[in-house]
Amino acid sequence: MDTRVALHDAPQALERPPRGTLAVPARLPDDEDTVNIHPSANRRLKDFEAALGLTAPPPKGPLFVGVDLGTAYIVTSVVDAEGTPVAGALTRSRSSIRDGLVLDYIGAINLLRAQVETIRRAGYAIDDAMVCYPPGTAGGNARAFANVLEAAGLHVTGLMDEPSAAAEVLEITDGAVVDIGGGTTGISVLKNGEVVYTADEATGGTHLDLVLAGNFKISVEEAERIKTDASRQREIFPLVRPVFQKMAAIVRQHLRDHPVDTLYLVGGTSAFPGAVEVMEEETGLTVALPSHPLLVTPLGIGIRCAREAKANAKPTKGK
């Protein structure tokens, strides 16, 4: 039985993503990814997943918000002054966002406003927030993301790019962050903690849906349900493997002039079983996957929001 509840049906309830999009399948303790992903990063991500339930008592002190307006999901993280996740919300984007563009401005505002109101009703006093934008997005398109937050009742303190947000959580300074989202595959190269190259191409989770829909002659919505059914993912992997190979080819092409040793996969589609193996085979690189790839970027935005607030805080009088 599907126990997910949409926000417009029950304002007090928060939507949960289908299985297979939030966390990666269980892995052995000595799995190589565990070595490549900092243990504290995985702990924070697991804490954030638990915080989505809004069951913990709201902490004292200021709270900070990070919002990821993605093609598949709008995800909001709430952290305390130390960057510890304390609350969050997740809702399907419902075609409001596509490939780094806000297509349905009013729809995106309504979805995010519902999240904000639900979190506030649960006792979390949120106001200051940051939002991220995909690689290659700039100018008015990036500002549109901030406008959505402001219209939803949040005070925007800054914008940041998605790879920098991921790096905040994964605690990395060098390598390539590969964000496999609903609409695109984004590649960002980091050197000494700085983003030195970014690219974003239109191949993502929705393309897996299209392949499945064509193969089974079903609707895209039904294909998405099959794709996120953990019991069927191994069965359908041969069908969608070419899409993952295309993603890997995109990564390989963009890294020709920007060599790295390690790829860090984030985004909900990267949790699909077999994605890591294809990326390793096609690129010849070490590939690391965090425990909850869908939650990496939104948590990183919240952490950066808290960190910048602390850095900009005026010293106490007399100190």
The radius of gyration computed from the CA coordinates of the chain, to the nearest angstrom, equals 19
**11: confidence class by pLDDT, cuts 50, 70, 90:** very low
Q: Look at residue 7 in the predicted model and tell me its pLDDT.
A: 31
Q: With 60 as the cut, is the pLDDT of residue 248 above it? A: yes
Helix axes 162-170, 296-312, angle to 10 degrees: 90
pLDDT tens string 31-81: 444 447 888 899 999 999 999 999 989 999 999 999 999 888 899 999 999
Q: 3-state SS string over 12-35? A: CCCCCCCCCCCCCCCCCCCCHHHH
| Domain presence at residue 241 | yes
Q: Look at residue 137 in the predicted model and tell me its pLDDT.
A: 67
**161: confidence class by pLDDT, cuts 50, 70, 90:** confident
- Could you give the number of structural domains in the chain? 1
| Domain presence at residue 158 | yes
Higher-confidence residue of 149 and 100: namely 149
- Work out the percent of the chain whose per-residue pLDDT is above 70: 84
Q: Look at residue 118 in the predicted model and tell me its pLDDT.
A: 96
Q: How far apart are CA 36 and CA 172, in angstroms?
A: 10
**152: confidence class by pLDDT, cuts 50, 70, 90:** very high
Q: Look at residue 3 in the predicted model and tell me its pLDDT.
A: 29
Q: With 90 as the cut, is the pLDDT of residue 299 above it? A: yes
| Domain presence at residue 36 | yes
Q: With 80 as the cut, is the pLDDT of residue 180 above it? A: yes
CATH of the domain at 282: 3.30.420.40
Instruction: Compute the CA torsion angle 102, 95, 51, 62 (nearest 10 deg).
Output: 20
Query: Of 143, 74, 159, 150, nearest to 115 (Cα)?
Result: 74
DSSP 275-317: HHHHHHHHH-SEEE--S-GGGHHHHHHHHHHHHHHHHHPPPPT
Look at residue 270 and give its three-state secondary structure. Answer: helix
Tokens 């949409």 -> residue: 6
Higher-confidence residue of 315 and 83: namely 83
- Calculate mean pLDDT across residues 117-133: 95
Q: How far apart are CA 14 and CA 3, in angstroms?
A: 11
CB 186 within 8 A of CB 179: yes
**313: confidence class by pLDDT, cuts 50, 70, 90:** confident
Q: Look at residue 207 in the predicted model and tell me its pLDDT.
A: 92
| Domain presence at residue 14 | no
Q: How far apart are CA 189 and CA 176, in angstroms?
A: 4
What are residue 259's phi and psi, to 5 degrees? -65, 140
Q: With 90 as the cut, is the pLDDT of residue 304 above it? A: yes
Q: Look at residue 307 in the predicted model and tell me its pLDDT.
A: 93
Predicted TM-score of the model (pTM): 0.85
| Domain presence at residue 53 | yes
Most confident of 99-113, 140-154, 237-251: 237-251
Q: Look at residue 15 in the predicted model and tell me its pLDDT.
A: 58
**163: confidence class by pLDDT, cuts 50, 70, 90:** confident
For 107, the domain range is 32-312
**Mean pLDDT for the chain?**
85
DSSP type of residue 7: T
Measure the N-to-C terminal CA separation of the chain; round to a whole number of Å. Answer: 58
Look at residue 159 and give its three-state secondary structure. Answer: strand
| Domain presence at residue 22 | no
Q: How far apart are CA 193 and CA 175, in angstroms?
A: 9
Look at residue 168 and give its three-state secondary structure. Answer: helix
| Domain presence at residue 318 | no
Weakest-pLDDT range from 61-70, 88-97, 122-131? 88-97
pLDDT tens string 197-245: 988 888 888 899 999 999 999 999 999 999 989 999 999 999 999 999 9
Tokens 């979805």 -> residue: 111
Q: Look at residue 30 in the predicted model and tell me its pLDDT.
A: 41
| Domain presence at residue 9 | no
* Helix ranges (DSSP H) in the chain: 32-36, 39-51, 105-121, 139-151, 162-170, 205-216, 220-227, 233-254, 275-283, 296-312
Look at residue 76 and give its three-state secondary structure. Answer: strand
pLDDT tens string 266-295: 998 999 999 999 999 999 999 999 989 999
